[in-house]
Structure 1
Amino acid sequence: MMKLKLLVILLILTSLLNGCNKEDNTYPLEFFEISNTKLENLQLNNVNKIIVEKIINKRLSAFLFTDNENSQINGGINLNDKSYYIGQVSMENTPDHLMGIAEVQVFGKKAVKIYGILGANYAQAFYWFVEEKTEDSIIQIDGHTMEVDLDDDGKKEIVSTSGTIPETKIYILREGKIYVSDINKSIGAKSVFLQDEDKKLFQVYFEPNKSEQYVYYKYSFIKR
């Protein structure tokens, strides 16, 4: 009898929770911690040509280069008179407007964004947090990226979108660590993308030809 009462209570609670979720259209997002990009020492005699260089200050700079092995475009940084290789940034003959280096603010920190494309629908970016320890200073993100203050706290998060059917992720800083949420998987949506950067509105499709608008707030997606 006691087990039956407990089962009834659990069913009622589940129904109430589902009803609340449906009524206020709030979807909690799942977040997972990401790893930093491992840096390798770069021997400057392996650099064939520097394509773009961004001088941050006397001891910090970032650059795009080709090496002596192939024509792919790689990324490197100079830090305290040492050079490091961060990885392939873009493919050969990438148009100038699709790759580059820019100083940005992310998570309330100063960062350098090094970005490019590796295919027709494959963009990526590296973020170098210049004030962090060297081994913890760079993350790599797939997709077209933008920096947006989603929760109006004065600190910008990173939004990335990839694929012909858009899949969108949000990167946040929590307790000193960087976490990511795959929005499509978290809320069960077929397509998600940031429609209006100024209003921070996301266009969401749970089914074809039927879009809804959502905003991000406190680790959740809320319908507008």
Structure 2
Amino acid sequence: MKLFKLLIAIISVSLLVNGCAKDTDHILNLEFKPIDMKSEITIISEQAIGEISSELLADDALAFLYKPKTNQEEFNGGIKIKDRYYDVGQISVYQIGNEIEVKDLFGKKVIKFNGSLGVNYRQAIYILIEDLKPSVLLQVDGHVLEKDIDMDNEQEVVSTWGTLANTKIYKNIGNIIMVSDVNESVNAQVVVYRNDSNVFEIYQRPNEPRYYTLSNQILTEVQKP
């Protein structure tokens, strides 16, 4: 009896650590990994800034889109804090369709730069200002939106790109930004997030969509919305 109780306790702990749900046709577990952040912000001189196309004041920072004098074919993101200028990196190669917004993300107030680096190639960069210094909180390729998709009272970032839609979810887990490649996690060729119904449309087999909602890093099948 003691051995039986010990086995039950070990199994219970294992389920808590690894998750009690197993992949079936109706339940799919998502794998989340820490993001690999490579973007850096550099200090630039005011003389390096060419044409400014748009600006947004966000507390102590002025965010703007500009053409570098060394390359008039692209638009970079810029931040001015007091008398110091920072370059965020390339945001777009087009004059139109670019945005600067202030967002609340992962419990922080951030500046979002959003633009296009090519046909159907969107990019978003989220900038955090702390102690009057900017840093890149998150850089995401694809068409992005911020939404509380798992109803945990904190927004996630969902990105989708490609002709055969690839979808990633960026989530704050234990104060660490993690990402799940949904296609890879569930072995699907196509994953589309439907914003209007808060449902993931997943194709693990051609022409056979199934529909799922997200909760606790698990996708649970629902009826077609």
Secondary structure at the residue paired with 1:21? Answer: coil
**Which one is further off, 109-118 or 181-190?**
109-118
How is 1:181-192 mapped onto 2 (pairs within 5 angstroms)? 181-192=180-191
State the partner residue of 2:46: 44
Hey, what's the Cα distance between the residues in 1 that align with 2:218 and 2:190? 17
Structure 1 vs Structure 2 CA RMSD: 2.1
Hey, what's the Cα distance between the residues in 1 that align with 2:100 and 2:86? 16
Offset of residue 154 of structure 1: 2.1
Hey, what's the Cα distance between the residues in 2 that align with 1:27 and 1:151? 14
Hey, what's the Cα distance between the residues in 1 that align with 2:206 and 2:131? 44
Offset of residue 133 of structure 1: 8.0
Hey, what's the Cα distance between the residues in 2 that align with 1:178 and 1:215? 21
Size of the alignment, in residue pairs? 201
Q: Which amino acid in 1 is paired with 2:174?
A: E
Offset of residue 153 of structure 1: 2.3
Q: Contact 1:171 / 1:181 at 8 angstroms: preserved in 2?
A: yes
Q: Which amino acid in 1 is paired with 2:80?
A: N
Q: 1:80 to 1:173 in 2, by over 3 A?
A: farther
Q: 1:80 to 1:28 in 2, by over 3 A?
A: farther
CA deviations 1:63-84 (Å, max 9, x no partner) are 1000112220111112343211
The answer to which structure has the higher helix fraction is 1
Secondary structure at the residue paired with 1:207? Answer: coil
Which residue of 71, 77, 80 maps to 2:79? 77
Structure 2, gaps ≥5 residues long: 1-20
TM-score when normalising by structure 2: 0.82
State the partner residue of 1:63: 64
Hey, what's the Cα distance between the residues in 2 that align with 1:118 and 1:55? 24
CA deviations 1:111-162 (Å, max 9, x no partner) are 2110001111211000112347846543211001000101212211000000
Secondary structure at the residue paired with 2:200? Answer: strand
State the partner residue of 1:206: 204
Q: Which amino acid in 2 is paired with 1:52?
A: S
Q: Contact 1:64 / 1:73 at 8 angstroms: preserved in 2?
A: yes
State the partner residue of 1:154: 153
Offset of residue 105 of structure 1: 1.8
How is 1:60-209 mapped onto 2 (pairs within 5 angstroms)? 60-70=61-71, 71-91=73-93, 93-95=94-96, 98-131=97-130, 134=133, 136-195=135-194, 197-209=195-207
TM-score when normalising by structure 1: 0.83
Q: Which amino acid in 2 is paired with 1:165?
A: L
In the TM superposition, structure 1's runs of 4+ consecutive aligned residues that sit over 4 Å from their partners are: none
Offset of residue 42 of structure 1: 1.5
Hey, what's the Cα distance between the residues in 2 that align with 1:135 and 1:49? 22
Offset of residue 20 of structure 1: 5.1
Q: 1:200 to 1:131 in 2, by over 3 A?
A: farther
